[in-house]
């Protein structure tokens, strides 16, 4: 497993930083990784290692305003700017592995984005994996926070607040929670433009799920207190084509960081193998 640094420029001049993990042998496919709100791709080397062992390269860029990428923390000028940045990531994957099938893999906010992208842009990929996609919050945020976000959405889109993410809800493995809390590249900021965009696009995705055009694997933990597992069920039930839904009994939000992560990742890899062969 070889890890290398990746950088790319956005249309509006930001530098995005990321990582590429290349398997030692033949590359049977490439997985483009989109991380969640407030985190970064540097939290996924164990996921990449398992994919590498199965012959898949992994490449991911920290979203604008996240990790080592430039931009105000937790801010995007509009939601579609993320789609522009995802096109850059896909371009990087194609330039490095021109003959390899591509799979989009996203977690939480990233899960929302990998569902949204192929419904708005032409996506020449073999399939999509949405891990705990943020389609609807699993908790009710304070009314004042939502009201403030909507008021600021156009007036002051960069206005940001703490996300209020419950760190203990990430995983039942307390080492994961402690590492998250101590990670200097993790942040808890969410801007009005991003927070309201995420809520509204999540509902749009649920309303338009019957239009999803690609093979899809979607999964949640049944005890996810951050992203609604019921919303994942609702989305999957409306997808007309090749769709696999898996609800992991008793698991929290980061199923790839739970004590059962080997089973979760093994299930995902079998699905990816079946859709890239």
How does DSSP assign the chain, residue by residue?
A: -EEEEEEEE-TTSPEEEEEEEE-SS---EEEEEE--TT--GGG-HHHHHHHHHTTEEEEEEPPTTSTTS-SSTT--SSTHHHHHHHHHHHHHHHHH-TTS-EEEEEETHHHHHHHHHHHHS----SEEEEES--SSBSS---HHHHHHHHHHHHH-TT-EEE----GGGS-S-HHHHHHHHH-TT---EEEHHHHHHHHHHHHHHHHTGGG--S-EEEEEETT-SSB-HHHHHHHHHH--SSEEEEEETT--S-GGGSTTHHHHHHHHHHHHHHHH-
277 is catalytic: no
- In the set 69, 85, 108, 163, the catalytic residue is 108
Looking at residue 147, what is its pLDDT? 67
Looking at residue 148, what is its pLDDT? 72
80 is catalytic: no
Looking at residue 158, what is its pLDDT? 74
- Name residues whose C-beta falls within 8 Å of residue 70's C-beta, 6 or more positions apart in sequence: 14, 15, 16, 64
Q: Under CATH, what is the fold of the domain 2-276?
A: Rossmann fold (3.40.50)
Domain definitions of the chain by residue range: 2-276
- In the set 35, 40, 66, 253, the catalytic residue is 253
- Name residues whose C-beta falls within 8 Å of residue 178's C-beta, 6 or more positions apart in sequence: none
Looking at residue 101, what is its pLDDT? 98
Query: Could you list the mean pLDDT of each consecutive 10-residue stretch along the chain, which spans 277 residues?
Result: 92 97 95 98 98 98 98 94 97 96 98 97 95 91 69 70 91 98 96 90 98 97 98 98 97 98 98 96
For the four alpha carbons of 165, 166, 169 and 172, in that order, the dihedral sign comes to positive
Residues 214-233 have pLDDT tens digits of: 999 999 999 999 999 999 99
* Averaged confidence pLDDT in the chain: 94
pTM for the whole structure: 0.96
224 is catalytic: yes
- In the set 35, 224, 256, 275, the catalytic residue is 224
State what percent of residues in the chain have pLDDT above 70.
Answer: 96
Q: What is the secondary structure of 7-49 as a DSSP string?
A: EEE-TTSPEEEEEEEE-SS---EEEEEE--TT--GGG-HHHHH
């Amino acid at each position: 497993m070889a890890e290398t640094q990746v950088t790319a420029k956005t249309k509006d001049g930001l530098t995005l930083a990321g990582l590429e993990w290349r398997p030692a042998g033949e590359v049977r496919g490439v997985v483009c990784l989109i991380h969640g709100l407030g985190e970064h791709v540097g939290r996924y080397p164990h996921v990449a290692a398992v994919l590498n062992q199965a012959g898949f390269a992994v490449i991911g860029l920290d979203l604008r305003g996240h990790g080592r990428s430039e931009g105000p923390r937790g801010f995007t000028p509009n939601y579609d700017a993320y789609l522009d940045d995802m096109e850059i990531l896909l371009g990087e994957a194609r330039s490095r592995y021109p003959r390899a099938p591509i799979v989009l893999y996203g977690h939480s906010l990233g899960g929302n984005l990998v569902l949204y992208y192929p419904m708005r842009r032409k996506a020449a990929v073999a399939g999509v994996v949405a891990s705990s996609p943020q389609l609807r919050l699993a908790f009710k945020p304070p009314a004042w926070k939502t009201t403030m976000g909507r008021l600021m959405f156009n007036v002051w889109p960069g206005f940001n607040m703490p996300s209020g993410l419950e760190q203990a809800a990430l995983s039942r493995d307390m080492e994961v929670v402690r590492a998250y809390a101590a990670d200097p590249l993790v942040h808890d900021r969410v801007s009005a433009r991003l927070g309201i965009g995420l809520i509204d696009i999540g509902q749009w995705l649920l309303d338009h799920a019957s239009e999803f055009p690609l093979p899809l694997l979607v999964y949640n933990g049944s005890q996810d207190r951050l992203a609604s597992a019921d919303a994942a069920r609702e989305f999957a039930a409306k997808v007309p084509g090749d769709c696999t839904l898996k609800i992991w009994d008793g698991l929290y939000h980061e199923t790839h960081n739970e004590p059962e992560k080997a089973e979760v990742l093994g299930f995902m890899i079998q699905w990816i193998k079946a859709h890239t062969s």
